[in-house]
Structure 1
Amino acid sequence: MSDVSLLCRQPVYLRPDPARVIVRPFRPATEPRDFTPIDKARANHIVDRVLTLDAETAASQLADVMDNFKQRHRNLPAVIEARAEEMEDAFAAHAVFSPMQRLLVGAYFLNEYSFEASALFNPSIVLDPDQSGAPEGGSSFILSLRAVGEGHISSLTFRQGSIAADGCVTVEPAARLASLPKVQDRIATPHGDQVEVSFEADCVISERVIFPVTASQSNGIEDARFVAFEEDGETIFYATYTAYDGRAIRSELIRTTDFISFGMVPLTGAAARNKGMALFPRKIGGKYAMIGRQDNENLYLIYSDDLYAWDDGKAILKPEFPWEFVQIGNCGSPIELDEGWLLLTHGVGPIRKYSIGAVLLDKHDPSRILARLREPLIRPDPLRSEGYVPNVVYTCGGMRHGDQIILPYAVSDTFCHIATIDIAALVQSMQSEEAPFRISEPAL
């Protein structure tokens, strides 16, 4: 079977842009990091120095801040004021500030962060809940992407795009500004904080960045696998992701209906101690279902009555072919086809080379394997394998559109590409006992 009949690479490349920045709290401490307790003595030393400035000098300093940064951030004065409000406890030793002093002090406890300076990768894709701008005969979609900046801190960002009736895929340019959501609610639980965040309604999708907001996420929100989940006639977008605090990982779940407001909840149970969980897009046999990796080698099918609690599952898929001998994992939520559940997988082979494969699961009993690619669907090209993490192609989820799969995927954990796959050709290739096809990511 020819490559052309199976997979069509789109002329779409999403690359990291170090010019895109957010403004986040600066925490003066011996080793300042998010969620590090503020060194109140040092913070007050900074405030003391600011308060020694006469009114004219303070006004000049604040004007300089605004001139330099107000065009780089949405409503910067409000951001600075909010930071000053967060610092109230640290400033308790001081008298009342003037409005100008308050803003200037707040500015000293903020810093810019280039959230995608290093990489923009591991995408997933879902239909946009608002299809009003979709092309005729086509659909609008939302991409989620993992962005990595200084210190290998991962955040979640988005892009909007469309697929035309003829299968042509386009992705809109990223907004010039980038914005963080406001934390609306935070509930402490024995399993970690549950958090509700929301963006301003006029903040376009590509402007929205979800940066770590809990201690468990302090080093990253990694590899979100979004899926449109259907239940009782309602569509809810869920994404499992890996929360990383610099030492330990765990799986958490994000929920949204509009990509403006998001709820973030830790998952519990034995299965949630691992990464790479992916939710089926509907219940199976009255239960929620996940695909996950519990032993760092095999893929498991896990059922639960509780969306937020996941215990041990059943191993259904193990490394079988040389390109996946080290381990296998899922590449996003299963996609429902007429023939069964299409599960995209990743396999790790020699020199830790990551390739993308595919498996067909029974629609009524997903523990039953119907067909499987013997060779990768996409593998790294040896002529173009360098990047933030060499020798990797990876995705966090594709989407069905008519008789095609739209597959965004990352190359060398650095940038993203998009391909469309003919479903009939893919299913036929999985079922074939003949020599498998080979498709490599081309040199760019």
Structure 2
Amino acid sequence: MRLTRHPSNPVLMPNVFNDWEALNVFNPSVVFHQGLFHMHYRAQGSDYVSRIGYAVSEDGIVWNRLQRPVLSPSADFEARGVEDPRVTELDGRFYMAYTAYGRAGAHPEVGQTATGITPMYAVSDNLITWQRLGPVVVGEDNKDHALFPAKVGGRYVSFHRRPPSIWLAFSDDMRSWDGHVEVMGPRPELWDGKRIGAGGPPILTDEGWLILYHGYDDKHVYCLGTALLDLDDPSRVLKRPSTAILEPQETWEIKGDVPNVVFGTANPVVDGQVYLYYGGADRVIGLATAPLDELLAWTIAEG
């Protein structure tokens, strides 16, 4: 199965009139809330420091942007950027997974020391102002985390990545995480043979948790695929097709700040359609769609 790219692609491009997003905009989060699409996206300007911007849309294609970032680095361990937002709505609040990239240092808001590449969470009630909650893990380079849109066994569940695999962690309060367990690893000789990581928040279906994830091979070509996880035990993989559903083929997916990349970080379902938003070559944002029932049926049949 192949997703259908939208003819208006790319749906978001750098804005040369705002220095903080003049170079690259990519790897977005998108949630559908109260009839609108809300996007949070990673942006880079001339200083190459990543900040997170916000945009809103009625149709998921044409976007109106806020002219300032909604999240910027505020401590040493974020000094080189806040990256790759993934927002989940859960119990009436919005939780943003983002990667802190920087140096060692205690954060004034969360009081914990982190180094290098750290998977962080923040929370909001309005999608604009965010309060940092803290890291999933510290002391290791870790990223590609995303929160499940429902609790499992009464606990919060998050993806994260201990290279080269996708892992899970569990929490009672979104601040302390435990129960770390590996879910999936690379598959040699396939498109995801070198390293894999989670995409957007998993999609809850009657058949299981449908996930869209990225992976790359020895040629460093990033593609996207699907898998199905058990509802009650998401560490158990039920289905995992061997072929990708999206791979770089457009010029703006092949040529950019990092070549040959489609990097999906959002997959909201609206009126039965999966809207996959992804970074193209770390420069622009693309959209591809598929009916949820067809994507799920294909995953089950091919997995």
Bin of the TM-score, shorter chain as denominator length:
0.7 to 0.9
**Larger relative contact order (CA 8 Å, sep ≥ 6):** 2
- Describe the superposition over 1:63-118 as per-residue Cα deviations: whole angstroms up to 9, x where unpaired: xxxxxxxxxxxxxxxxxxxxxxxxxxxxxxxxxxxxxxxxxxxxxxxxxxx11121
Corresponding position: 1:144 with 2:142 = no
Instruction: Mark the CA change 1:271 to 1:126 in structure 2 (over 3 Å): closer, same or farther.
Output: farther
Q: Please tell me the residue identity of whatever aligns with 2:83.
A: E
Partner of 1:303: 170
Equivalent residue, structure 1, for 2:89? 228
2-side partners of 1:375 and 1:324: how far apart? Answer: 9
Other structure's SS at 2:73 match: coil
* Whole-angstrom distance in 1 between the partners of 2:97 and 2:70: 17
Q: How large is the RMSD of aligned CA atoms in angstroms?
A: 2.2
CA contact (8 A) 2:118 2:137 kept: no
Give 1:8 shift: 5.1
- Deviations 1:310-369, CA, capped at 9 Å, x for gaps: 235111211125111111100121111232111111001132111111111111221221
| Match in the other structure for 1:127 | 32
More strand by share: 2
Q: For the Cα contact (< 8 Å) 1:270–1:311, is it kept in 2?
A: no
Q: Which residue of 1 aligns with 2:97?
A: 240
CA contact (8 A) 1:119 1:148 kept: yes
Q: Which residue of 2 aligns with 1:117?
A: 22
TM-score (normalised: structure 1)? 0.61
Cα distance change on mapping 1:225 and 1:127 into 2, 3 Å: same
Which range moved further: 268-277 or 282-291?
Answer: 268-277
Task: Find out whether 1:354 has 2:222 as its counterpart.
Answer: yes
Pairing 1:182-221 to 2, within 5 Å after superposition: 208-221=69-82
2:63 counterpart (161, 166, 172): 172
Q: Which has the higher helix share?
A: 1
Between 9-18 and 117-126, report the one with greater CA deviation. 9-18
Mapped contact 2:70–2:129 kept (Cα < 8 A): no
Structure 1 position 286, deviation (Å): 1.0
Number of corresponding residues: 289
Q: Which amino acid aligns with 2:93?
A: I
Change (3 A) 1:433 1:331: closer
TM-superposed deviation, 1:272: 7.3
Which consecutive residues of structure 2, in runs of 5 or more, have no partner in the other structure? 104-114
Q: How far off its partner does 1:223 sit? A: 0.5
Percent identity reads 31
Query: Which of these residues, 52, 72, 80, is aligned with residue 156 of structure 1?
Result: 52
Could you list the runs of 5+ residues in structure 1 that have no partner in the other structure?
21-113, 132-138, 164-168, 180-207, 435-444
TM-fit CA distance, 1:268 = 5.2
Q: Which amino acid aligns with 1:19?
A: F
The partner residue of 1:289 within 149, 152, 157 is 157
Match of 1:428, SS state, is helix
Cα distance in 1 for partners of 2:5, 2:256 equals: 23
Following the alignment from structure 1 to structure 2, what is the Cα–Cα distance between the partners of residues 395 and 159? 17
Counterpart residue type for residue 340 of structure 1: G
- State the alpha-carbon separation in 2 of the partners of residues 356 and 212 from structure 1: 29
| Counterpart secondary structure, 1:425 | helix
